[in-house]
Chain A
Amino acid sequence: MSDVRPRIRAPRDAAAGSSVNIRTLISHPMESGTRRDSDGTLVPRQIINRFACTFNGRSVIDMDIEPGVSANPYIEFDAVVDESGTFEFTWYDDDGTVYSATHEIAVS
């Protein structure tokens, strides 16, 4: 899919040991596999089936996703930061494509 675009909203800096709020959105139709097109043909399933976020290699959240999650999956959660570093975000598509994004945060 060509129009899949991940977006991250998270702070650029934070105090050591604090919890920061992270919001992610990825543009994706999340085709459920139960929908029919105008000819009555089932549209094959194609969804983002997993999302994961790590901070400096340590897991923040790992999510298994079913077709019941809306199109353009939005996920909001919190991470605790004890040092400056990088969030890595990964989305796994049914077709095998892996979408990724990163976000740097300075911790003082």
Chain B
Amino acid sequence: MLTRRQTLAVGAGGLAVTMLPAVGWSATADDIIAAFTGGATPGSDGIFLDVPEIAENGNTVPVGVNAPGAEEIIIVATDNPQPGVATFRFGEAAGSHSVSTRIRLGGTQDVVAVARMADGSFVQAAAEVKVTIGGCGG
């Protein structure tokens, strides 16, 4: 765990490093996905990720994910300073296993959605979004 002081000291080293989160959370996208799946290899059927091919403004990129039968879905932005974006859990009154939101992307990168299905299996979809202006305030 980096202290704020250490984070600032490291941050002086380069612009890329200044993107480190102040709380010192440095889990990678792979770490986050592995923690979600428990190391299982996700399949690729039955999950649909809807993202634009090109996003002019990385501050607000529309993302939709639909995984019929999913109990829980995570969205990960692989190259963001904090790759974890959101976790959705569907309840008994859910009308679909589909959700849309808007996310920040620091630059061109893959967006990944992973769903945990009712039978405990996992499925994953990924798509690259080309970002013209990054959304990390850097």
Residues of A whose CB lies within 8 Å of any CB of B are: 19-21, 32-36, 42, 44-45, 54-56, 58-71, 73-81
Interface residues of B in 55-90 (CB under 8 A from A): 59-61, 64, 77, 80-90
> Nearest chain A CB to B23's CB is how many angstroms away?
7
B101 touches A32 (CB 8 A): no
Instruction: List the A side residues contacting B98 at CB < 8 Å.
Output: 77-78
B22 touches A42 (CB 8 A): yes
Interface residues of B in 79-117 (CB under 8 A from A): 80-96, 98-104
CB pairs A–B below 8 angstroms (9 shown)? A34-B20, A59-B92, A63-B87, A65-B86, A67-B82, A68-B83, A70-B59, A74-B101, A78-B95
- Residue from A36, A58, A68, A81 within 8 A of B137 (CB atoms): A36
- Interface size for chain B: under 10, 10 to 19, 20 to 34, or 35 or more residues? 35 or more
A79 touches B86 (CB 8 A): no
Instruction: List the A side residues contacting B59 at CB < 8 Å.
Output: 70-71
Does chain A have a CB within 8 A of B21?
yes
B88 touches A63 (CB 8 A): yes
Describe A's contact surface by its main secondary structure.
strand
Residues of B whose CB lies within 8 Å of any CB of A are: 4, 8, 18-23, 59-61, 64, 77, 80-96, 98-104, 135-138
Instruction: List the B side residues contacting A70 at CB < 8 Å.
Output: 59-61, 101-104, 135
B22 touches A54 (CB 8 A): no
A69 touches B104 (CB 8 A): yes
B95 touches A20 (CB 8 A): yes
Instruction: List the B side residues contacting A45 at CB < 8 Å.
Output: 21-23
A73 to B4, CA, bound (A): 27
Instruction: List the B side residues contacting A69 at CB < 8 Å.
Output: 85-86, 101-104
Instruction: List the A side residues contacting B81 at CB < 8 Å.
Output: 34
> Nearest chain B CB to A47's CB is how many angstroms away?
11
B99 touches A80 (CB 8 A): no
Instruction: List the B side residues contacting A61 at CB < 8 Å.
Output: 88-91, 94, 99
B93 touches A54 (CB 8 A): yes
- Residue from A34, A60, A62 within 8 A of B82 (CB atoms): A34
> Nearest chain A CB to B47's CB is how many angstroms away?
16
